[in-house]
Structure 1
Amino acid sequence: MRRIYKISPASAWREAERQGVFRGSADDVKDGFIHFSTASQVVETAKKHFLGQSGLLLIEVDSDALGLSLRFETSRNGEKFPHLYGELDLGAVTAVFDLPARPDGTHDIPELEP
Structure 2
Amino acid sequence: MATPGDAKPTYIYKLIPSSSPPPEPLPAVLPVSELDQSSGFIHLSTAKQVPNTLKFFFAGEPRVYVLRLAYDPLEEKKLIRWEDPKAEVCGPRGGEGMFPHLYNGLELGKDEVDSVATWERREGEGWEEIAEREKDWLIY
The normalised TM-score by structure 1 is 0.84
Give the aligned length: 113
The answer on whether the counterparts of 2:17 and 2:58 sit within 8 Å (CA) in structure 1 is no
The one-letter amino acid of 1:100's match is: E
**C-alpha distance after superposition, 1:57-96 (max 9, x if no partner):** 1110002122211111122537200000121242121111
- Bigger fraction of residues in strand: 1
Runs of at least 5 residues in structure 1 that lack an aligned partner in the other structure: none
Distance 1:80 1:13 in 2: 26
**Per-residue deviation, 1:104:** 3.2
- What RMSD over aligned residues (CA atoms) do the two structures have, in Å? 2.2
Distance 1:89 1:105 in 2: 30
The 1:105/1:35 distance shift into structure 2, 3 A limit, reads farther
Larger-Rg structure: 2
- Bigger fraction of residues in helix: 1
Residue 80 of structure 1 is aligned with which of 79, 98, 119?
98
Task: Please state whether the residue corresponding to 2:68 is helix, strand or coil.
Answer: strand
Runs of at least 5 residues in structure 2 that lack an aligned partner in the other structure: 1-8, 88-92
Equivalent residue number for residue 68 of structure 1: 78
Identical columns (%): 34
Equivalent residue number for residue 139 of structure 2: 113
Distance 1:105 1:34 in 2: 28
Equivalent residue number for residue 110 of structure 2: 90
The answer on whether the counterparts of 1:62 and 1:92 sit within 8 Å (CA) in structure 2 is yes
Task: Please state whether the residue corresponding to 1:14 is helix, strand or coil.
Answer: coil
The one-letter amino acid of 2:110's match is: L
Distance 2:38 2:51 in 1: 23
